[in-house]
Structure 1
Amino acid sequence: MASLMEDLIDVLNKEEEQYQGLIELGKKKREVVIRADIKTLDEITATEQEVASNLQNLAKKRTRVLNDMATVLGRNPGEVTITKMISYLEEQPVEQKQLMEVKERLLQTGKEMEAINEQNEILLNQALEMVEFDLTLLKSMRQAPETANYNKNACNTGDLLGSSGFDAKQ
């Protein structure tokens, strides 16, 4: 059981390290979005994908270790969580304390990452709105207003003004 506990704490520590790495990438991403540096944003996104893959592997390992611990304790493997493991360790205060500390650090890191992701989401939405505004402005600049010229049937001819917006002919 002691080696399983060490494995669990090790996996949780590695998960926290990966999340800390994502936090740093999120901070860099914020600066890159502000500068509108698409190339660097692409590189950061690729790195984030690698970290996400590592986190997925660590999550699988954590689940395996928890299932092994549940089997040793005679519990249902599907129902064992870190919080329940903490409560099961009442007779082992050292391990219980270590597990509680790792859990709290991981939760704090998750909250910090969530805040950074929310800020980046807002920045990205604002950047998209700005791009949409620019595109609308460019489209409207290419469209010239129609003249108020009518044909003999009193229908608008739909003639467009020149690109300068003024009719220089007299």
Structure 2
Amino acid sequence: MASLMEELIDILEQEYEVYRQLIPIADEKTRVIVKNDLTSLQAITAKEQLAVDQISALEHKRNELMLNIRTVINRKDGEFTLKTLIGLMEKQPKEQRALSLIHDNLKSTIQRLVEINNRNKSLIEQSLEMIEFNMNFIQSTRMSPGNNTYTKGASQYDSQSQVTGMFDAMQ
């Protein structure tokens, strides 16, 4: 089981490193979203996708290792998490300490990424709302014929001043 534990710790350290590398990428993504630089946003998204692919592969290996460890220690009931495993490692303080440390590091790093991604999500939603507002405004100015001033005969509009577009081409 010692080799399984060493392999698990190694996989978790690799995952931690990839997550840690995502933090500056996510911070850069915030700056790019604020600047509205779509080209840079696409490049950052490609970097993120590579990291997600790495994490997915590592997660698959981690799940296999956890299943093997669970089989070795003959745990069949309930959920078997890293926290559960740490609690069962009382007779192996070195491995328990290493697992606990990497667990805490992963947890804090992932929490930081969640915060940054929530901020980015909010910025993107605000940007989309602004785009929708602008599109509605442009559409409403194109749809309203004549001048938009009220007169005594408000039920009638000036048919001579029909606007076909938003800009006056004669100027």
Per the normalisation by structure 2, the TM-score is 0.82
Residue 167 of structure 1 corresponds to none
Q: Give 2:93's aligned amino acid.
A: P
* 1:156 CA drift (Å): 5.2
> Deviations for 1:59-102, whole angstroms, at most 9, x for unmatched residues?
11001111111122122287422111111110011110110000
Cα 1:122–1:160 change in 2 (3 A) is farther
Alignment of 1:121-160 (within 5 A): 121-146=121-146, 159=159
C-alpha RMSD over aligned residues = 2.5
Determine whether 1:59 maps to 2:91: no
Identity across the alignment (%)? 35
Contact 1:144 1:161 in 2 (8 A): no
Residue 18 of structure 2 corresponds to 18
Cα 1:147–1:135 change in 2 (3 A) is closer
Alignment of 1:37-116 (within 5 A): 37-76=37-76, 79-116=79-116
Cα distance in 2 for residues equivalent to 1:16 and 1:105: 7
Cα distance in 2 for residues equivalent to 1:80 and 1:147: 70
Cα 1:156–1:102 change in 2 (3 A) is same
Q: Give 2:59's aligned amino acid.
A: A
Contact 1:144 1:160 in 2 (8 A): no
Gaps of 5+ in 2: 149-154, 166-171
* 1:141 CA drift (Å): 3.5
Cα 1:41–1:132 change in 2 (3 A) is same
Cα distance in 2 for residues equivalent to 1:32 and 1:68: 43
Residue 4 of structure 2 corresponds to 4
Per the normalisation by structure 1, the TM-score is 0.83
Contact 1:18 1:51 in 2 (8 A): yes
Residue 118 of structure 1 corresponds to 118
Question: For 2:159, what is the secondary structure of its paired residue?
Answer: coil
Residue 36 of structure 1 corresponds to 36
Residue 27 of structure 2 corresponds to 27
Cα 1:2–1:139 change in 2 (3 A) is same
Cα distance in 1 for residues equivalent to 2:33 and 2:135: 19
* 1:162 CA drift (Å): 4.4
Gaps of 5+ in 1: 149-154, 165-170
Cα 1:13–1:44 change in 2 (3 A) is same
> Deviations for 1:34-75, whole angstroms, at most 9, x for unmatched residues?
000001111111221121111111111001111111122122
